[in-house]
Structure 1
Amino acid sequence: MSWLHSRRIRFLCAGVTLFFILFAALRLGFLIASADHAALAGESTGVILQTISIGLRFDLRLALLIMLPVAFAASLPRVNLVRSRFTRALTGLYLALATLLVLLVYVLDFGHYSYLGQRLSATVFRFAGNADISTRMLWESYPVVWISLGWLALTAAFVSLLFRAARVTLDRPRRQPIRPLPAIAGIVLVSALGLLGMLGRVDNINPENPVPLRWSDAFFSGNAAVGALGLNPVTFIYDTHRIPPEKYDLAELRRHYDTVAHYLSVDSPDPATLSMQRTVKPHVHRLPVAQAPNVVFIMLESLGASRSGLFGNPLDPTPELDALAREGWLFRNLHVPVTGTAKTVWASITGIPDAARSESATRNPFISSQHSVINALRGYEKIYAVGGSAGWANMNALVLGSIDKVRLYEEGHWRAPNDDVWGISDLNLFREIDAILREQARKGPFFAYIQTAGNHRPFTIPEDNDGFIASSIPDAEAQQAGFQNTAQFNAVRLLDHNVGRFIEMARASGYYDNTIFVLFGDHNGRISTLPFMPPAFELLGLESTHVHAMIHAPKLIQPRLVDEAASLVDLMPTVAGMLGLEFGTATMGRDLQYPAPEGERAVPVILREGAFPVIGAVTRKHLVRMNADGSKASMHDLAAEAPLKDVSASHPEEFARLSKLARGLHESARFMMYDNVVGK
């Protein structure tokens, strides 16, 4: 065993060990500080330990990958780590930079999971296209200076350990020459152990085609929170980035075309052309009005259903919105297709779920101009208003390219000064857009889309807030009601306050009585287990897609409680049906006034984004979820106390129906994004 005295092998082993200990400690920190403890509590100790074991193997793989260039430098015949100061210095610089970058990824991963409940993946690169806004949001939302100092201090401390290990191993006196045979045997053994560590498994190894440990192994339990515990952020970014994006799976689309064509009531189904086109006739229950009503869409930033008093939130943070909902159509089970502001803007305008794998569809210049049901509002002035820059996620390209003759109002158009990274306050946005709508109402009907942003980090409460009084309840009390802290609770209350003020403005300006107001959350923030919400919404990931949504027009419609599952993409076709419009469409949105052809109404959701999405079809009672390729399908009872239990065996027909819909609608959404392009 004289080869163990090799100084270079000792240093390589020391480096791998130190990096592995660092990553294991960070994994422990994630478990303590960031992991979803409520979701983990429902799993057995054996499952948790197995997941941690998988995660540690990913950590070992990363440690080995980082040390591979060092192994190359150590193996050089004359200018290796022992003989060359230059090689030693260059290796030290590499290790310092590698440590700096890897720890930065961990810092970002902790923040990303804390805010969105998802580990860092290649989708983070979409924010690079808006680096200025992303940087300002981080600066205004987090103690960036202290976090940066901690990151640099940890880097410096760890690099000093590496340098000390180099001195202890590489600078020690050489005891005796190592004979060739033991040296070769040592190299072979160390290499074999390194390859086994890279492979990440000792079970089920096929010598002819060894399958390494993969990210999907961490999700063996079906619990997303458990799977997150088993991932390594650095290797997961690589795994999600290296998958080449594909538009859609044509063979899979054809396989499910008949199901989707029936779901959409396609006029002339044709599996050869994959036509999704249909003409929607004026609804028999269209509004009996002599003057064309105005339409105002209000996107409510981060307003999930669990934030609403109507859904049982004990702090009653949304009294204004709840009062509006009681006078209109309240959708108890409306879901956005996938979480994210840009993705909600896309779906609400196009009527297509944003099923893009690598980044939001608004960032794809080849599909930014879409046919929209909004354009069926002929004779309407069309207005889009956002307090900040519409260039965020290239949403301006979608708005301008898809809505005919739209007037886009954004940062730079407003008289009020910016309050934070997201532009002017929601209250000032409502004030200035009310003046525009008041003037337009004198000329003719209008369609307006108002995008709020105040209920978003950094949760700014402006000095000019028209009588709003911030609550001073402790963070712990806010957290018990599902909020991250008191600041977020107040941001929701402020959003509600501002919407109430806008409705007052609309009444005073004279266009309220003849306007259909459509209000909807764009997604929900992360919640913990809440006694007033079914456990399924947190444990199955539906808390992100389940939003507060309504159609408010008390002078035009009667109050109605809609319990059926509904989707964000259905809102514009439903309004068009209320207005008695005839329109053609090849998208997924449906008029909710018509009965669902599939029976119990089902809508598609994407529960996890990225290169390896988890998709589903949700009804009022059940969720079927699966990987995007159809594997690992399961069915869940949304009212059950143990919703993670697979109930597919108890409901085989419903499971088969929803499985086909989930797979078919997801692939159809990917197809529609390209099929619905203007000028195609």
Structure 2
Amino acid sequence: MKKLKIPRYIVWLFLTGIIFLLIMGLLRWTVVLKFRTPTEKTISLVEAYWLGFRYDLRFVAITVLLIYLIGSIPFLHPINKKWGSRISFFIWALFVIFLTIFYIADFAHYGYLRQRLNANVLTFLNDAKISFGMMWQSYHLGWILAGALIAISLLMTIVKLNYNFILSRPNVSTKKSSKVWGVIFVLFLAFCIVGNIVYKGGQYPLRWSNAYNLGNDYAANIALNPFQSFFSTMEFREATFDKAKLDEHYAWMSAYLGVPENERDSSTLNFKRMVQSDSNNVTAKQIHNVVLVICESFSAYKSSMFGNPLNTTPF
């Protein structure tokens, strides 16, 4: 470090970032140990861990870059100025609080739905009283809150200990070396945030969808962290249908779904149709009070109801 003349400010941010990367990696490993089923043990997670590291690196780099840019203002320098250190610790505290809250919510969400935390949880705020009541009955919120406060205190203690350690080291950097290392550090952080070397017709920034290129949902869930999963799904939270597109293709869709010709109406977008049971099926006539619940994930085209020649659901 002395020979390289790296500024203490950069060393502190770099080492603190490494610590949080290790913590986030440990939390990802904990998800695997806690929730992995016997059938999922055969799935290789090497690529998932590597992609997950890149997702973690992105959000740590965003925090580090913000602190570095603010600290680059002379009177807000965290090593040389008291107000600079206060602002830096405040930003780290915000990051630690968000990290703790997001991962606690993520563990509960994954344990219940086997999915990483996503923006759909915001729908619970529509009736916060009922949602809080269900949480109070389902989880030990008192212990969780106590654990969160302890985790936040420990993490902030680590940040401050690291700061004091760097502060005790001699300042070997010069103005010239500070500028050179500053440019290198900013470029490095920018690359970590983008996640790829982007060029026209080739690579694009690291995306949420990269996780689902791994080949299965389990590996994708392990690769994602709650930050990436939550913020990437915000734009899909209010997703709805495109009425103009539906109007354009209504004739084809209504014919495909078997809506009677005399009942097709593009102005009301009518998709109602009656499906008659097989009158020659003796077994079906002997079965009474059978209720079929079709969920949104139901593969309708695979069923006999939609004319599948394999007759997969004869009743």
Report the TM-score, using the length of structure 2 for normalisation: 0.82
**Aligned pairs for 1:524-563 within 5 A:** none
1:199 alignment partner, one of 190, 194, 198: 194
Displacement of 1:217 in angstroms is 1.0
Displacement of 1:24 in angstroms is 0.7
Q: 1:217 to 1:272 in 2, by over 3 A?
A: same
Displacement of 1:64 in angstroms is 1.0
**Aligned pairs for 1:58-73 within 5 A:** 58-73=55-70
1:258 alignment partner, one of 241, 252, 256: 252
The yes-or-no answer on 1:232 pairing with 2:225 is yes
Deviation readout 1:90-145 (Å, 9 max, x if unpaired): 32123123202221110111111111111110000000112111112111112222
Displacement of 1:3 in angstroms is 5.5
Contact 1:39/1:225 (8 A) holds in 2: no
Contact 1:58/1:235 (8 A) holds in 2: yes
Q: 1:276 to 1:66 in 2, by over 3 A?
A: same
CA–CA distance in structure 2, aligned partners of residues 270 and 52 of structure 1: 51
Contact 1:264/1:276 (8 A) holds in 2: no
Deviation readout 1:207-226 (Å, 9 max, x if unpaired): 68851111111112442122
Deviation readout 1:419-443 (Å, 9 max, x if unpaired): xxxxxxxxxxxxxxxxxxxxxxxxx
CA RMSD of aligned residues (A): 3.5
Question: If each structure's strand is expressed as a fraction of its own residues, which one has the higher value?
Answer: 1
Displacement of 1:334 in angstroms is 4.8
Displacement of 1:73 in angstroms is 2.5
Structure with the larger RCO, 1 or 2 (CA within 8 Å, 6+ apart): 2
- Calculate percent identity across the aligned residue pairs: 21
**Aligned pairs for 1:376-415 within 5 A:** none
The yes-or-no answer on 1:111 pairing with 2:112 is no
CA–CA distance in structure 1, aligned partners of residues 28 and 152 of structure 2: 16
Q: Kindly provide the amino acid, as one letter, of the partner of residue 53 in structure 2.
A: L
Contact 2:118/2:226 (8 A) holds in 1: yes
Q: 1:216 to 1:30 in 2, by over 3 A?
A: same
User: What corresponds to 1:102 in structure 2?
Assistant: 99
User: What corresponds to 2:171 in structure 1?
Assistant: 174
User: What corresponds to 2:137 in structure 1?
Assistant: 140
CA–CA distance in structure 1, aligned partners of residues 231 and 276 of structure 2: 50
CA–CA distance in structure 2, aligned partners of residues 25 and 148 of structure 1: 21
Contact 1:257/1:274 (8 A) holds in 2: no
The yes-or-no answer on 1:267 pairing with 2:226 is no
CA–CA distance in structure 1, aligned partners of residues 141 and 80 of structure 2: 42
User: What corresponds to 1:276 in structure 2?
Assistant: 270
User: What corresponds to 2:82 in structure 1?
Assistant: 85
CA–CA distance in structure 2, aligned partners of residues 122 and 87 of structure 1: 34
CA–CA distance in structure 1, aligned partners of residues 293 and 272 of structure 2: 24
Q: Structure 1: where are the runs of 5+ without partners?
A: 286-325, 339-541, 546-563, 566-594, 603-617, 622-680
Q: 1:74 to 1:88 in 2, by over 3 A?
A: same
Report the TM-score, using the length of structure 1 for normalisation: 0.40
Contact 1:51/1:230 (8 A) holds in 2: yes
User: What corresponds to 2:27 in structure 1?
Assistant: 26
Deviation readout 1:131-170 (Å, 9 max, x if unpaired): 1111121111122222222222122111101011111123
2:307 alignment partner, one of 599, 607, 624: 599
Question: If each structure's helix is expressed as a fraction of its own residues, which one has the higher value?
Answer: 2
User: What corresponds to 2:242 in structure 1?
Assistant: 249
Contact 2:109/2:115 (8 A) holds in 1: yes
Displacement of 1:60 in angstroms is 0.8
Deviation readout 1:560-591 (Å, 9 max, x if unpaired): xxxx94xxxxxxxxxxxxxxxxxxxxxxxxxx
Deviation readout 1:290-347 (Å, 9 max, x if unpaired): xxxxxxxxxxxxxxxxxxxxxxxxxxxxxxxxxxxx972446x754225xxxxxxxxx
Q: 1:281 to 1:92 in 2, by over 3 A?
A: closer
**Aligned pairs for 1:568-607 within 5 A:** 596=305, 598-600=306-308
Q: Secondary structure at the match of 1:104?
A: helix
CA–CA distance in structure 2, aligned partners of residues 272 and 3 of structure 1: 72
Q: Structure 2: where are the runs of 5+ without partners?
A: 280-285
